[in-house]
Amino acid sequence: MPELPEVETVARLIRPKLVGRSIEACTVRWKRTTGGLDARALAKLVVGARVTRVWRRAKYIVFDLERSGAPAGALLGHLRMTGRMQVDARGVDPGPFVKVSFDLDDDHVFHFLDVRKFGRLVFTEDAAGELAELGPEPLSAAFTADGFFAALRAKRRAMKPLLLDQAFVAGLGNIYVDEALFRAGIHPLTKSERLARDRSDRLHAAIRAVLAEAIEREGSSFDVFYRTPEGNPGSFQDQFQVYGRGGEPCRACGTKITRLVVGQRGTHVCRRCQKR
């Protein structure tokens, strides 16, 4: 599933093509993608509205809308496993997996594609309210080392499942939790309340560094599904230290990377660099 760096990349690349554009028509080919709305029902909500902002929250992409200068709700998108967003010139064939399309007022079309049909693009009157239960953004000023340490000590959970909890910290997934824990030298089964302050600070810094580097490389294309809106793969997968490298030697010490199951999720760890 695309995580924070992949979703941030998509938001950044489609933003200049959508902000300021008005929606002239919509086509719905898979109603589950739009929360059960068909083209006529969705058109009543979005046609004639102008996109004023495209932003990311956790693994969601939000499209703020307005009419006559007044807020008019938002579209809330989640890529799930295989979703993809792109903007093409009108008449360009986007391929066979389009689920929703919006004709724009500049002869371009926004497409939401999804091979496995798990993704969602729904209308909401209150995007902030829909996302209110999410935790802090790990690249924001609100995600401080002090606050992170206090939050860890207040929980009694293993590190890996806790960091995957979107109510604890927003946007992290399997890839970047494994990579950040390795970089900080912390075993994924370490209990959060037992983590010393210096190790908490290392993990806080590692989370931010790993995410920033992945965004710079436009995310990770570890399978055939994730591509940027331009159709290009990300390249952070070339920098993986542990994720997906079970049985391969650790790049730091040579020990074989071990694949564990933690909280029902495949987890990769170097037992020497990340002692319990």
Q: At residue 65, does pLDDT exceed 90?
A: yes
- The average pLDDT across 89-114 equals 97
The pLDDT tens digits of the residues spanning 209-262 come to 999 999 999 999 978 789 999 999 999 999 999 999 999 999 999 999 999 999
CA atoms within 13 A on the CB side of 189: 13
User: Does residue 59 carry a pLDDT above 90?
Assistant: yes
In the residue annotation, 265 being an active-site residue is answered as yes
Q: Under CATH, which architecture does the 4-130 domain have?
A: Alpha-Beta Barrel (3.20)
User: What DSSP character marks residue 87?
Assistant: E
What was the pLDDT predicted at 89? 97
Tell me, yes or no, if 229 is annotated catalytic.
no
pLDDT confidence of residue 276: 83
Q: How many CB atoms lie within 10 A of CB 6?
A: 26
Note the pLDDT tens digit of each residue in 120-177.
Answer: 999 999 999 999 999 999 999 999 999 999 999 999 999 999 999 999 999 999 999 9
Domain parsing of the chain, residue ranges: 4-130, 145-269
CATH 4.10.490.10 is the classification of domain 145-269: no
Residue 261's pLDDT is 95
- Catalytic site includes residue 2: yes
Question: Residues 2, 136, 188, 229: which is the catalytic one?
Answer: 2
* Catalytic-role residue among 59, 183, 202, 227: 59
Q: Which of 15, 157, 265, 271 is catalytic?
A: 265
The alpha helices in the chain, defined as continuous H runs, are: 4-18, 39-46, 127-130, 145-154, 159-164, 174-184, 197-216
Given a cut of 90, whether residue 51 has pLDDT beyond it is: yes
